[in-house]
Chain A
Amino acid sequence: MNVMGIIFTNDASLGELTNKRTMASLPFGGRYRQVDFALSNLSCAGVRHVGIISRHNYQSLMNHIGDGEEWGLELEEGGLEFLTPYAMSSTHTYRGKLESLNYAMDFLEYGAEDEMVVMIDSAVLSNIDLNKVLNAHVASGKDVTVVAKSGICNGEKVIDLALKVENGELVDMVVDYAAGEDYLASMDIFVLNKKWLMQQVKEMIARDKFHMDRDLVLGGWQRGKVSVNIYEHDGVAMFNESVEEYFYNSLSLIDKDIRHDMFHGNHPVYTKVRDRVPTYYGEACDIEDCLVADGCMLDGKVEDSILFRQVTVSKGAEVENCVIMNDSVVGEGCELKYVILDKNVTVTPGAKLIGTKKNPIIVKRGDTV
């Protein structure tokens, strides 16, 4: 099967955390960026031609991904392509996925005609075997396969695309709506036939329609023009669509089953290599229920937290339920609860920061508290 991948970097906002980066380059899980999950899903399914569509803020992303070497995508043929507005036939940014695909026609045209396309977003993370999805798509004979997850819709969370299935039949579909528990939430992973997709994009744009979920999937299905197959993912899916969710999902990695599903479920998760030394646990440290990356120096007490690479926790500091990103330093005697420290933050000795589960305190990249 010839397959190409398209990753959308997602420009949603998680406040300060995405101030200078896309959702794709948001650090997650101690040593990853969110895009690592999409890239690894594609790479481990044997996809060797991947385009990354990004509107803005793609500097840190390009720096992270480079030529795609870590994901086996540094290839002569195919490989990795950044589809930024400047690299496409447009100098203005686009309004929706369909419009961005319209500008990426050159990329789509490359390669065999019978290719399949996997579209994947950077806000919903999973460790999924895409070959199973591809096979299910082909077997279904439908136009679009939507990968979806149960247990996400709860009547409160607004879901991009929610689908209701009864007796194996798709009976309802809603967009941008707080669908009830009996709906499945789209994981923003779609499989389609390339030729069909290109035709649809052209027709949609010709009618000034640019929204993937609303116009192509929902609209097409309602008009009886698009047949939709649903693939239910039975593993973990992390919808990091708000600070609260990002924080909750980060800390849930401490749970063994969730962690193993995300990091070892179907395949490894690749990321940029940093060559840090192993973490040093000092004489006075007390670490409980934590995920710890390489290069840390630990002398304080840390509980139920995620420590990224090269974090320092000094003597007498107490850290609980926190996410601490690369190169941050927690000074002596500090007390941190429900806090997200972005990269390179310095918390001066004795400082006290107490957030809540719903509203963790976020300290901006490079700040000193």
Chain B
Amino acid sequence: MYFQKKRVIAMLLAGGQGSRLKVLTEKTAKPAVPFGGKYRIIDFPLSNCVNSGIDTVGILTQYQPLELNEYIGNGQPWGLNKTHSCAQVLPPYERHDKKSGWYKGTANAIYQNIDFVDRFDPDYVVILSGDHIYKMDYAAMVEYHEKHQASCTIAVRNVPLEEASRFGILNTNPDNSIYEFEEKPPVPKSTNASMGIYCFNWKVLRDALVADEEDPNSSNDFGKNIIPKLLNEGHKMMAYPFDGYWKDVGTIDSLWEANMELLGKEPAFDLRGDERAKIYARNSALPSSYIDEKAKIVNAFVAEGSEVYGTVKHSIISIGCTVGEGSLVEDSVVMPGVEIEAGAIVRNAILGENSKVCKNAVVGGAFGPDEKKSISVTSKGAVVEANTVLRPGDML
């Protein structure tokens, strides 16, 4: 079989459970969690790839892969199903030498798929994860990497000093070359946080992965093992500063926040913007949304295939939802296929896919401007029975 040589390919780490998303990832891998009304988290890195001219993407899956695999399919929604492009799902597999099985860590996941990468004989491999919401031109990062003749380039963003100890911090020289990497330092020396987006020379990475696999003490992780090892070996490593919107949606609170940041006249994260940086998603054949005469919608997203009879304020209503008469949805994220019956009240909540809030039920509550919000969550398919209450912060 003929494989076209590629200058750059991407490997997308999509195997994590995302346990901090709790009930939302009980049956769904984190990258397949719905976002922004009609998207799933993985649409962002996948669309970024396509918009950056990267047409070959390996997607490493492990946890609850059914829905994710189904969603990716042959990569058609992102235009990755052509003769010389692919979105290849790479699950763990069994090998004759037993150097296989479940992916032990992020680096091991790539190690087990060296054969896949080798087919394309790439100069550069971009490593991505399926946990973040952002738009980024990876091509510009690869240019930067090439210009500086680095072995590895890591995208970084400036975080407030008081938050820096939550991240992997890269300490750099004035020319942005990295001299030290510290994972969650108690006393951070800088505020350059790693975004978990790496560009490697494939030859360098390949050797490092093989060596790392030999090391029985390694946890086979990019942040913990590969990056420090390459630094110690004296490889040139660069920090690539990125100042656009970027959000880790690994927790209930941050997922809720990121959804809310899509709203407003001038949203923190504008999904419209540039046609060339469009986010693609797998589409379901749903008609336009119907907005009833009794409906009231203010500062909200309503995606296609929904029917709104009630009041929606500062919320995201995803595809195929029903918001019943006399109901109120405020400050909430309503995922695809949710049914909210008449008279129900939903505030500060995330309603999981196809869940149902029955007549006059109450989910969540209101919070004062200075109060810390506590988000209520329903899991996929959950039913909040009529006239019952799901209290603030509770999960069903």
Interface residues, chain A, with chain B CB atoms under 8 Å away? 29-31, 69, 254, 256, 259, 263-264, 268-271, 273, 275, 277-283, 285-295, 303, 306-307
Q: Does B297 lie within 8 Å of A271, measured CB to CB?
A: no
Q: Which residue of A lies closest to B78 (CB)?
A: A275
* Interface hit among B220-228, B235-243, B286-294: B286-294
Q: Does A282 lie within 8 Å of B287, measured CB to CB?
A: no
Does B76 sit at the interface, judged by CB under 8 A? yes
| Residues on B with beta carbons closer than 8 Å to the beta carbon of A285 | 297-298
Q: How far is A294 from B278 in the complex, measured between Cα atoms in Å?
A: 14
Q: Which residue of A lies closest to B280 (CB)?
A: A275
Q: Which residue of B lies closest to A303 (CB)?
A: B293
- Ranked 9 nearest A-B pairs via Cβ: A30-B288, A278-B37, A278-B303, A263-B287, A268-B285, A281-B297, A288-B293, A278-B301, A277-B271
| Residues on B with beta carbons closer than 8 Å to the beta carbon of A268 | 285-286
| Residues on A with beta carbons closer than 8 Å to the beta carbon of B285 | 268-271
Q: Does B300 lie within 8 Å of A275, measured CB to CB?
A: no
B285, B297, B300, B303 interface centre (most CB from chain A within 10 Å): B285
Number of interface residues of B (CB under 8 A): 37
A31-B304, A69-B76, A273-B77 as given contacts; A279 in contact with B293, CB under 8 Å: no
| Residues on B with beta carbons closer than 8 Å to the beta carbon of A270 | 285
Q: Which residue of B lies closest to A288 (CB)?
A: B293
| Residues on B with beta carbons closer than 8 Å to the beta carbon of A303 | 293
Q: Does B302 lie within 8 Å of A281, measured CB to CB?
A: yes
Number of A-B pairs, beta carbon distance below 8 Å: 100
Q: Does B302 lie within 8 Å of A278, measured CB to CB?
A: yes
| Residues on A with beta carbons closer than 8 Å to the beta carbon of B293 | 288-289, 303
| Residues on A with beta carbons closer than 8 Å to the beta carbon of B77 | 273
Does B272 sit at the interface, judged by CB under 8 A? yes
A69-B76, A277-B272 as given contacts; A29 in contact with B287, CB under 8 Å: yes
Q: How far is A254 from B316 in the complex, measured between Cα atoms in Å?
A: 23
Does B386 sit at the interface, judged by CB under 8 A? no
Q: Which of A288, A291, A306 is B295 in contact with, Cβ under 8 Å?
A: A288
Q: Does A278 lie within 8 Å of B290, measured CB to CB?
A: no
Q: Does A259 lie within 8 Å of B301, measured CB to CB?
A: no
Q: Does B287 lie within 8 Å of A259, measured CB to CB?
A: yes
B292, B300, B302, B317 interface centre (most CB from chain A within 10 Å): B302
Q: Does A291 lie within 8 Å of B278, measured CB to CB?
A: no
Q: Measured between C-beta atoms, what is the minimum distance from B274 to chain A in Å? A: 12
What are 5 A-B interface contacts by the 8 Å CB criterion? A29-B287, A254-B290, A269-B285, A291-B290, A293-B304
Q: Which of B295, B299, B301 is A287 in contact with, Cβ under 8 Å?
A: B295
Does B362 sit at the interface, judged by CB under 8 A? no
Q: Does B287 lie within 8 Å of A31, measured CB to CB?
A: yes
Q: Does B288 lie within 8 Å of A292, measured CB to CB?
A: yes
Q: Does A291 lie within 8 Å of B289, measured CB to CB?
A: yes
